[in-house]
Every structure is written in structure tokens, then in C-alpha cells.
Amino acid sequence: MEQDAMLKKSILILVYISAICASAQLVTVTAPNGGEVFHPGDTVHITWTADTRYIFAVDIQISLDDGKTYVPLLNKSVMIDNVSWGNLAWTVPDSISGKSIISAQCRIKIFNYLNGQEADESDQPFSIAQKPVVQPPKEEENGGKCGTGSGLALLAPVVFKIIRKRRIRG
């Protein structure tokens, strides 16, 4: 009889803990959370909060198709004792899993490593875009003259005046 009572109490406790876990947001992605634009080579801080009473390790995944499919961002979990817990600095690569990472429909998903259940993802998509290519000015834009258009031509009379004054005094 005592064993039956103990078993019932144990079941009630498990049901209670399950209800707490199901009703609470145990993992929350805080960044990137939508609207940001990154480029390959950028360092992105992926940040999250987690209820460390229940979550000791997380896996991080990325979607390039607005959450339809996800692939692992890292080849290992981030453990609670890792210095990156809650704020992982990730350098955006050119590709992931052999696919170009350029997309306007990216999302991050972070979930409990132990059961994969408690999870959150970016609220809105963010973008990873091609790095803008900076072109040097064309010769015809400044008539082929060095310094024009950059303000150096305006400084030249002042510099010559200073040099002339020093020669006269010296």
C-alpha cells in the first residue's frame, strides 16, 4: 500500500514537472531575431537565454529557407560551462553544408540538446548578403588628375604658403 502511494506521488511529481516545462519558455533566441543583414566574414553574436535548471547544453541550427529546414551551425553542442554560453560569436562562412549561405530568409534555432524539445527560433528572418564590392574611382571621374575630388587640391595652396613662410624666415 505504501509503495502504491509512493508511486502515485512520483507520477504526480513527474506530471507537475512536465507541465512546468511545457508551459514555460525554457530557451529564447534573442539575436539575431529578424531584420539584420550580415555578410560572409562578419562576426555575428548569436545570443539566447535558457532556464539552466532544466537545460545544460544547446544545439544551434540555421535555416536558409525561413524555417522550413535546418542544418547544424556547429559540429558540437554548447555546454553550460562553455564561455560562449548565451553569446556565441560565429563567423559567417561563404557556405554551409556545401550550399551558398546567401539568403534573405535565414533563421536561427536553438534547442535543448538532451531532448530536442525545448526550442526557440528567430522571430523574423534575417539576411546574409553578398559583401558589397568597393570599386576604386575611375580615372575619367577625376580627369586623370591625382588628388582632385578628394580635397587635396584645396590644401595645396595652404601647404605651399606655409613652406614659403618658413623659407623666408629661415
> CB atoms < 10 A from the CB of 31, how many?
15
User: Is residue 138 a contact partner of residue 145, using CB atoms and an 8 Å limit?
Assistant: no
> What does the pLDDT look like over 22-54, one tens digit per residue?
557 899 999 999 999 999 999 999 999 999 999
Q: Please list, in sequence order, all residues whose beta carbon lies within 8 angstroms of the beta carbon of residue 84, skipping any fewer than 6 positions away.
A: 78
* The pLDDT of residue 85: 97
Its pTM surpasses 0.95? no
